[in-house]
Amino acid sequence: MKTKNAIFLAFILGIVFISLLAFNFNDKKETAFESWNADDKAMNAKVDSLLSVMTLDEKIGQTVLLTSTRDVTGPSVNENYEKLIKEGKVGNIFNAYEASFTRNLQKMAVENTRLGIPLLFGYDVIHGHKTIFPISLGESASFDLQAIENAARIAAVEASAEGLHWTFAPMVDVARDPRWGRVSEGSGEDVYYSCEVAKARVKGFQGEDLKATNTILACAKHYAAYGAAQAGRDYHTVDVSDRELRTTYLPPFKATVDAGVASFMTSFNELNGVPATGNKYLLKDILRDEWGFKGFVVTDYQSINEMVPHGIVKDEEEAVKLAIDAGVDMDLQGEVYSKHLKGLIENGTVPVEKLDTAVRRILELKYALGLFEDPYRYSDEDRQKKYVMSEGHLEAARDMARKSMVLLKNENQTLPLSKNKKIALIGPLSNTERDMIGSWSGAGKHKDDPVTVLEGFVEMIGAENVIHAEGTKLSRYMKRTDAPITSGFSEAIAAAKKADVIVAAMGELQNMSGEASCRTDLDLPGNQKELLKELKKLNKPIVLVLLSGRPLTLEWEDNNMDAILEAWFPGTMGGHAIADIVFGDAVPSGKLPLTFPRSLGQVPLYYNMKNTGRPIKPNVKINTYKSMYLDNPNTPLYPFGYGLSYTTFEYKDLKLSNDQITNEKGIKVSVDVTNTGNYDGEEVVQLYIKDIVGSVTRPVKELKGFQKVLIRKGETKTIAFNLSIEDLKFYDIDMNFVAEKGDFKVFVGGDSEAKLTSGFSYN
Ligand code: NOJ
């Protein structure tokens, strides 16, 4: 009997050992380093051989990207897309997902077309695929690059299992005007930080090996300067100097090229008179010739066609010529490459080599993904079941949501709340699944999956301790002049009367930010503020939990609320994460990636403005003839980089290793940060510099480094940064990117108003 048992045990151990080996082997296979390489000989041979036999129609098909009807993210759809796939007239599909669905479409291409070239499946996998993370601006507020990369990695794992090869992300548009709804999709106002986030996201999506079945192509968008739309109105005119373009708007795009991004998407806007989609300066001179980008360029939704209303061409045929000439490789849903390219090539207007180049770039990436080996390798039901919304992914989303929240105010340590108090949870965003996940929530389920604030609170403190009332409602198109609906106020006030503390979940509906969602008024929309005023009369502590895709103007709230927590649109696990922070299971550590103005009249307002010739004199009561407003200070309500914790941090002992920097030798900047409060907490230690005199004027301050560190209560950590000559470079008077000799100031602190200062020079 004993021997039998021993044999059985050995057998079981053997199986465990073999499956462990297999598990490791699979994991290894999926993460091994093998970067996409445009000089790969086998790839070139494959693409050459295809190009040599492809007809003009087959080539044009490869430049066409059409939406499936599964999801629609723009103004038009071609219901015949399946027929077109079978005819080889479309080589790429977006808005399709799930293994069985993508596999079926792939089959149509592979089995019906003459050459069987596999389809490329793209989608807006922006902040998660089905497990939804906080909106990109929220993720950015974490200042945790590893967590940001990990979020993109998880999105890629889920998306790729469902058959996707390509995401239209990261969006790397620097944006400084909160009226623009798409600030929610980016990483804020700062150039240095946006570059870091852009790199992290590309790395997360693409991993180290495009051939691995759990990585997808990334796409840097929207190229370029889309975030500089005049008056913060989407798709609006952009007119910026070359200096501003290169200093502010281009660096994050360049950072993605350096990180190996596989594709670029052109933007809808014109740039200095030429729409980006037909802009040779952007697409050829800079992207290809200066930066050496090797991937392909796709348009935004019908942005070739839109060059007609832009008024740069008389018809779509001319638009096609302009686009292919400028360097656009793929037409997203415009159906104008398919309509006009053939004629333009046949009549000699467009050289066929231009089309060949575009097709080559697209086929190269299909090859790099391994699609020619096995076109179905990504559509994998087993992996889909195993990974999509797995426990680990949901936990990571919850953690990211906690990290993203920014504590804007916490008078008398109102937060965290005790779990033994009765809470009145009020507000139009207190129990709405859809708003938890924000715009561009991809394939994320809008019903059931997202955890609302109410659900999070009930699970945390029990239903008996939560009295819930919406109080008021919001609608996307509401105007200031709309008659306020106050019918829910009495229920909310009655609920609040029974409670010890009021928590108001208010802000914007998810569709009030994102694409085509600009606003001219950034106060709390609707009559939410009026409801808060009524609640305030009860003299109970009020915590405002904000859900928003952008900075709001919150002066009244700042004066009247006891605590304010910016939760953005926190994702699938949002309600749990809010409860974790509000009831103290987690300590807030997010910082603002975008300035919160006092009033809209200050916009655009960002921390690294210029000094002007007439700066305000500090500590002078009445400034005259200065660059200022009569009715508001120049300062923001909450500056870039700002965010409180439940604990406090003290900065001291700023030290520089040297007071001179040289080309060969940088400077080490160090500072002691002490946790002086009662909680362990994470702090984002920030380093800024100011170039005092330049051949062109320089900003008052520029972020050059940050570190997010955990400091336990009572503990002091020495945080060190290295500054090198590279950090001093800018576009000089002759547009050379150089460091100029002179004096520099250093600032270190917990936000962009960092008070500890020192200095060095470069001689
Ligand atoms: C339009 C948006 O501007 C872009 O960001 C998105 O990727 C495409 N539509 C595709 O959905």
pLDDT tens digits, 571-590: 999 999 999 999 999 999 99
Would you say the CB of residue 316 lies under 6 angstroms from ligand 1?
no
Q: Name the DSSP class of 390.
A: -
For 274-286, b/e burial (b = at least 16 CB within 10 A) is: bbbbbbebbbeeb
Residue bearing the CA closest to ligand 1, atom 4: 300
CB 450 within 8 A of CB 571: yes
Looking at the chain, the whole-number percentage of residues with pLDDT higher than 70 is 95
Strand order in the sheet with 92-94: 166-167, 120-123, 92-94, 64-67, 331-332
What distance in angstroms lies between residue 578's CA and the mean position of ligand 1's atoms? 29
Would you say the CB of residue 399 lies under 6 angstroms from ligand 1?
no
Would you say the CB of residue 124 lies under 6 angstroms from ligand 1?
yes
Angle, in degrees to the nearest 10, between helices 337-346 and 316-326: 80
- Name which of 141, 218, 206, 212 is nearest 172 in CA terms: 218
Q: Which residues pair with 303 in a beta bridge?
A: none
Q: Which ligand 1 atom is at minimum distance from the Cα of 171?
A: 5
Give the mutation target among 66, 72, 73, 167 for probing the ligand 1 site: most ligand atoms within 8 A of CB.
73
What distance in angstroms lies between residue 487's CA and the mean position of ligand 1's atoms? 38
Question: Is the predicted pLDDT of residue 29 greater than 70, yes or no?
Answer: no
User: What pLDDT, on the 0 to 100 scale, is given for residue 276?
Assistant: 98
Give the mutation target among 71, 93, 265 for probing the ligand 1 site: most ligand atoms within 8 A of CB.
265
CA 664, chain centre distance (Å): 35
Would you say the CB of residue 515 lies under 6 angstroms from ligand 1?
yes
Instruction: Provide the sign of the torsion angle of the four alpha carbons 95, 152, 256, 697, taken in this order.
Output: positive
Burial level of 698, CB count in 10 A (0-12/13-18/19+)?
A: buried
pLDDT band at 28; cut points 50, 70, 90: very low
Residue bearing the CA closest to ligand 1, atom 3: 300
Would you say the CB of residue 306 lies under 6 angstroms from ligand 1?
no
Q: Which residues pair with 682 in a beta bridge?
A: 710
The residue assigned the tokens 């091994």 is: 32
Residues labelled as active-site residues? 300
The residue assigned the tokens 């980008």 is: 293
Residues 6 or more apart whose Cβ sits within 8 Å of residue 309: none
| Cα 693 to Cα 714: distance, rounded to the nearest angstrom | 40
CA dihedral in degrees (7, 11, 16, 21; nearest 10)? 120
Q: Which ligand 1 atom is at minimum distance from the Cα of 333?
A: 10
User: What pLDDT, on the 0 to 100 scale, is given for residue 244?
Assistant: 98
Question: Is the predicted pLDDT of residue 47 greater than 90, yes or no?
Answer: yes
What distance in angstroms lies between residue 224's CA and the mean position of ligand 1's atoms? 14
SS3 98: coil
Question: Is the predicted pLDDT of residue 30 greater than 90, yes or no?
Answer: no
- Which amino acid is residue 398, in one-letter code? R
| Cα 118 to Cα 574: distance, rounded to the nearest angstrom | 38
SS3 265: strand
Q: pLDDT tens for residues 276-307?
A: 999 999 999 999 999 999 999 999 999 999 99
- Name which of 404, 396, 450, 436 is nearest 158 in CA terms: 396
User: What pLDDT, on the 0 to 100 scale, is given for residue 363?
Assistant: 97
The residue assigned the tokens 């944006």 is: 175
Q: Which ligand 1 atom is at minimum distance from the Cα of 221?
A: 5
Would you say the CB of residue 74 lies under 6 angstroms from ligand 1?
yes
Q: Name the DSSP class of 420.
A: T
pLDDT band at 35; cut points 50, 70, 90: low
Q: What share of the chain is helix, strand, coil (3-state, %, to 5)?
A: 35, 20, 45
Would you say the CB of residue 378 lies under 6 angstroms from ligand 1?
no
CB 125 within 8 A of CB 204: no
Angle, in degrees to the nearest 10, between helices 145-161 and 391-404: 150
User: What pLDDT, on the 0 to 100 scale, is given for residue 38?
Assistant: 66
Give the mutation target among 135, 168, 268 for probing the ligand 1 site: most ligand atoms within 8 A of CB.
168
What distance in angstroms lies between residue 354's CA and the mean position of ligand 1's atoms? 25
CB 144 within 8 A of CB 708: yes
Burial level of 311, CB count in 10 A (0-12/13-18/19+)?
A: exposed
Q: pLDDT tens for residues 349-404?
A: 999 999 999 999 999 999 999 999 999 999 999 999 999 999 999 999 999 999 99
Alpha helices in 538-680 (DSSP H): 555-560, 574-582
Would you say the CB of residue 71 lies under 6 angstroms from ligand 1?
no
What distance in angstroms lies between residue 334's CA and the mean position of ligand 1's atoms? 13
pLDDT band at 479; cut points 50, 70, 90: confident
Backbone angles phi, psi at 565, to 5 degrees: -120, 120
Would you say the CB of residue 168 lies under 6 angstroms from ligand 1?
yes
- Reported as type and span, the H/E element at residue 120 is strand 120-123
More confident residue, 34 or 101: 101
Q: pLDDT tens for residues 231-265?
A: 999 999 999 999 999 999 999 999 999 999 999 99
CA dihedral in degrees (253, 255, 259, 262; nearest 10)? 10
SS3 197: helix
Would you say the CB of residue 337 lies under 6 angstroms from ligand 1?
no
Would you say the CB of residue 300 lies under 6 angstroms from ligand 1?
yes
Question: Is the predicted pLDDT of residue 18 greater than 60, yes or no?
Answer: no
The residue assigned the tokens 């405002």 is: 544
| Cα 433 to Cα 287: distance, rounded to the nearest angstrom | 41
- Name which of 271, 125, 137 is nearest 206 in CA terms: 125
CB 122 within 8 A of CB 65: yes
Backbone angles phi, psi at 52, to 5 degrees: -70, -20
Residue 338 corresponds to which tokens in the numbers above? 């398919």
CA dihedral in degrees (310, 600, 637, 401; nearest 10)? -50
User: What pLDDT, on the 0 to 100 scale, is given for residue 159?
Assistant: 98
Residue bearing the CA closest to ligand 1, atom 9: 301
Would you say the CB of residue 44 lies under 6 angstroms from ligand 1?
no
User: What pLDDT, on the 0 to 100 scale, is given for residue 65?
Assistant: 98
Q: Which ligand 1 atom is at minimum distance from the Cα of 268?
A: 3
Residue 513 corresponds to which tokens in the numbers above? 């930010």
Residue 557 corresponds to which tokens in the numbers above? 């709230």
Strands (E), 532-618: 542-547, 563-566
- Name which of 369, 361, 376, 373 is nearest 44 in CA terms: 361
Q: Which ligand 1 atom is at minimum distance from the Cα of 185?
A: 5
User: What pLDDT, on the 0 to 100 scale, is given for residue 16?
Assistant: 40
| Cα 172 to Cα 254: distance, rounded to the nearest angstrom | 10
pLDDT band at 566; cut points 50, 70, 90: very high
Would you say the CB of residue 249 lies under 6 angstroms from ligand 1?
no
Domains (range + CATH), the chain: 397-602 (3.40.50.1700), 647-762 (2.60.40.10)
Mean pLDDT to the nearest integer, 182-201: 98
Would you say the CB of residue 77 lies under 6 angstroms from ligand 1?
no
What distance in angstroms lies between residue 73's CA and the mean position of ligand 1's atoms? 7
Q: pLDDT tens for residues 647-681?
A: 999 999 999 999 999 999 999 999 999 999 999 99
What distance in angstroms lies between residue 474's CA and the mean position of ligand 1's atoms? 26
User: What pLDDT, on the 0 to 100 scale, is given for residue 36?
Assistant: 64
- Name which of 341, 339, 279, 269 is nearest 306 in CA terms: 269
Would you say the CB of residue 196 lies under 6 angstroms from ligand 1?
no
Q: Name the DSSP class of 99.
A: H
Would you say the CB of residue 234 lies under 6 angstroms from ligand 1?
no
What distance in angstroms lies between residue 265's CA and the mean position of ligand 1's atoms? 9
Would you say the CB of residue 688 lies under 6 angstroms from ligand 1?
no
Residue bearing the CA closest to ligand 1, atom 11: 73
Residues 6 or more apart whose Cβ sits within 8 Å of residue 29: 212
Give the mutation target among 71, 136, 301 for probing the ligand 1 site: most ligand atoms within 8 A of CB.
301
Q: Name the DSSP class of 667.
A: E
Peptide bond into 251 cis (omega under 30): no
The residue assigned the tokens 């547009």 is: 735
Residue bearing the CA closest to ligand 1, atom 1: 301
Q: pLDDT tens for residues 410-462?
A: 999 999 999 999 999 999 999 999 999 999 998 998 888 999 999 999 999 99
Mean pLDDT to the nearest integer, 532-544: 98
| Cα 346 to Cα 323: distance, rounded to the nearest angstrom | 17
| Cα 186 to Cα 169: distance, rounded to the nearest angstrom | 10
| Cα 520 to Cα 180: distance, rounded to the nearest angstrom | 9
Q: How many residues does the chain have?
A: 763
Question: Is the predicted pLDDT of residue 606 greater than 60, yes or no?
Answer: yes
Mean pLDDT to the nearest integer, 584-601: 98
Give the mutation target among 184, 221, 223, 297 for probing the ligand 1 site: most ligand atoms within 8 A of CB.
221
Q: pLDDT tens for residues 622-632?
A: 889 999 999 99
What distance in angstroms lies between residue 154's CA and the mean position of ligand 1's atoms? 21
What distance in angstroms lies between residue 184's CA and the mean position of ligand 1's atoms? 14
Peptide bond into 604 cis (omega under 30): yes
CB 204 within 8 A of CB 623: no
What distance in angstroms lies between residue 169's CA and the mean position of ligand 1's atoms? 9
Mean of the per-residue pLDDT values of the chain: 94
Burial level of 169, CB count in 10 A (0-12/13-18/19+)?
A: buried
- Name which of 564, 545, 359 is nearest 436 in CA terms: 545
Cβ neighbour number for residue 31 with a 10 Å cutoff = 14
Q: pLDDT tens for residues 203-237?
A: 999 999 999 999 999 999 999 999 999 999 999 99
Strands (E), 363-429: 406-410, 423-426
Would you say the CB of residue 226 lies under 6 angstroms from ligand 1?
no
Q: Pairing relation of β-strands 681-691 and 742-749?
A: antiparallel
